[in-house]
């Protein structure tokens, strides 16, 4: 950016103040995205905007510094009551996003005046990018706590494996056994009936302070107010799913390889599930990656990893030892005479109590 010579000091001070506000708040949001939310994509977006707006030549910067009068700024001592209120992280993100957006609008309007001759489109485009980034930051923050609860036993209620038993009765036993994550997986029930089942499971899970996840069906997840949805390789792509899901809902993704895991993590997955670690009766003909495949995926990501496929009482500790944060189980629970007792034993065996 450059400025014409001879601008009044008052105009230069307005430009200086607003560019400072933009840079300071962008840096804060960038640090939150990078160091608190571990979101590489958002961090990169914010850094790109910041660097683009900070590209000023030496003469421009000298003009602004020459006009600066921070020690005699009449606005420095003007305070409003809200400034003294303590903020949580969400309020901090919103406040600093507003600060950037408002200052960008000021710069956009100033740039349109004939004496300044700056590129107003540059500030307008940055402002609209910030509107989207603000939403993405708040979404990531709201999902962070839910994603952090992906640990320990991850119980999957597969309709075919129930063999006619009640979804709700079985889920209640599993929850009483100590599970804090329930996923509903159903490929056959008409969606009208499935929604009723999902809504009942969501209500039950809420009573036990447990997460409720719907497999595959985003519409059922949204309509039942599930805590999240889990999507596989043949389902709607993650970026499209994110646009459809409410901003506070988590999305898990199944992957085969570390490369896939890295991609979906960068796209905003909240947790990742492996392909089958062992041969499994729940999914015939599935690709088995083994324990080493699990370890390689774990080494490639920083978000929670769920080990899946053929896991039972005899091998669950092994899966944990190879890096799984959580272990998904179907047959070892639903095939037991007492799902409650099976759940208790599995949780005890892992040494990872679901808090």
The average pLDDT across 233-238 equals 91
1 domain residue, yes or no: no
Q: What is the pLDDT of residue 163?
A: 86
Of the residues 114, 145, 176, the one at which a domain ends: 145
Of the residues 96, 126, 145, the one at which a domain ends: 145
E-strand stretches of the chain: 152-158, 181-185, 211-215, 228-231, 250-255, 271-276, 305-308, 326-329
Residues 127 and 164 in one domain: no
Residues 200 and 281 in one domain: yes
Residues 257 and 134 in one domain: no
**What's the total number of domains in the chain?**
2
4 domain residue, yes or no: no
> Is residue 353 over pLDDT 60?
no
The average pLDDT across 103-114 equals 93
Residue by residue, DSSP assigns 108-148 as HHHHTSTTT---HHHHHHHHHHHHHHHHHHHHHHHHHHHHH
pLDDT tens digits, one per residue of 150-201 = 999 999 999 999 988 999 999 999 999 999 999 999 999 999 999 999 999 9
> Is residue 215 over pLDDT 60?
yes
> Is residue 72 over pLDDT 70?
no
195 domain residue, yes or no: yes
Residues 77 and 175 in one domain: no
> Is residue 294 over pLDDT 60?
yes
Of the residues 80, 113, 145, the one at which a domain ends: 145
Q: What is the pLDDT of residue 11?
A: 86
Question: Is 343 within 8 Å of 317 (Cβ atoms)?
Answer: no
Q: What is the pLDDT of residue 38?
A: 83
> Is residue 81 over pLDDT 70?
no
240 domain residue, yes or no: yes
- 280 falls in which pLDDT band (50, 70, 90)? confident
- 317 falls in which pLDDT band (50, 70, 90)? very high
CA 31/CA 148 separation, integer angstroms: 20
Residues 163 and 265 in one domain: yes
The average pLDDT across 220-247 equals 96
Residues 42 and 174 in one domain: no
Residues 158 and 126 in one domain: no
The average pLDDT across 71-99 equals 76
154 domain residue, yes or no: yes
CA 53/CA 104 separation, integer angstroms: 10
With residue 65 as reference, give the H or E element that holds it.
helix 58-67
Give the domain range for residue 104.
9-145
Residues 133 and 218 in one domain: no
Residues 126 and 187 in one domain: no
188 domain residue, yes or no: yes
Q: What is the pLDDT of residue 142?
A: 93
pLDDT tens digits, one per residue of 245-258 = 999 999 999 999 99
> Is residue 282 over pLDDT 70?
no
Residues 209 and 320 in one domain: yes
3 domain residue, yes or no: no
Residues 91 and 198 in one domain: no
pLDDT above 90 covers a percentage of the chain that reads 75
Q: What is the pLDDT of residue 82?
A: 60
Question: Is 110 within 8 Å of 118 (Cβ atoms)?
Answer: yes
355 domain residue, yes or no: no
The average pLDDT across 207-221 equals 98
Sequence-ordered list of residues with C-beta below 8 angstroms from that of 142, at least 6 positions apart, any chain: 90, 247, 248
* pTM attached to this predicted model: 0.82
- Least confidently predicted of 57-61, 122-126, 129-133, 137-141: 57-61
Residues 127 and 184 in one domain: no
> Is residue 83 over pLDDT 60?
no
Q: What CATH number does the domain containing 273 carry?
A: 3.20.20.70
- Least confidently predicted of 18-22, 72-76, 298-302, 328-332: 72-76
CA 313/CA 237 separation, integer angstroms: 34
């Amino acid at each position: 950016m450059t400025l014409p010579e001879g601008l009044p000091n008052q105009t230069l001070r307005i430009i200086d103040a607003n560019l400072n506000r933009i840079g300071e708040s962008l840096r804060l949001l960038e640090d939150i995205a990078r160091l608190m939310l571990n979101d590489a994509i958002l961090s990169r977006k914010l850094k790109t905007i910041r660097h683009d707006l900070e590209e000023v030549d030496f003469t421009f910067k000298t003009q602004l510094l020459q006009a600066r009068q921070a020690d005699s700024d009449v606005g420095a001592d003007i305070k409003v009551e809200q400034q003294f209120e303590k903020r949580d992280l969400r309020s901090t993100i919103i406040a600093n996003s507003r600060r950037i957006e408002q200052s960008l609008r000021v710069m956009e309007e100033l740039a349109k005046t004939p004496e300044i001759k700056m590129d107003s489109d540059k500030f307008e485009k940055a402002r609209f990018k910030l509107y989207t980034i603000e939403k993405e930051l708040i979404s990531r923050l709201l999902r962070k706590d839910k994603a952090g609860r992906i640990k320990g036993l991850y119980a999957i209620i597969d309709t075919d494996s129930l063999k006619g038993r009640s979804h709700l009765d079985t889920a209640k036993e599993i929850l009483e056994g100590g599970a804090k994550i329930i996923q509903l997986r159903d490929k056959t029930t008409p969606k009208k009936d499935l929604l009723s089942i999902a809504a009942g499971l969501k209500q039950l899970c809420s009573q036990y302070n447990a997460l409720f996840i719907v497999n595959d069906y985003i519409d059922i997840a949204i309509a039942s107010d599930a805590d999240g949805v889990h999507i596989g390789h043949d389902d709607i792509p993650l970026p499209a799913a994110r646009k459809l899901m409410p901003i506070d809902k988590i999305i898990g993704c199944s992957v085969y390889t570390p490369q896939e895991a890295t991609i979906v993590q960068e796209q905003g997955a909240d947790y990742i599930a492996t392909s089958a670690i062992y041969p499994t009766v729940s999914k015939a003909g599935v690709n088995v990656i083994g324990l080493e495949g699990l370890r390689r995926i774990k080494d490639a990501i920083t978000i929670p990893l769920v080990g899946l496929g053929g896991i039972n009482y005899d091998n669950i500790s092994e899966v944990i030892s190879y890096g799984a944060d959580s272990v998904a189980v179907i047959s070892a629970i639903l095939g037991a005479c007492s799902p409650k007792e099976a759940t208790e034993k599995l949780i005890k065996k892992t040494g990872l109590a679901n808090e």
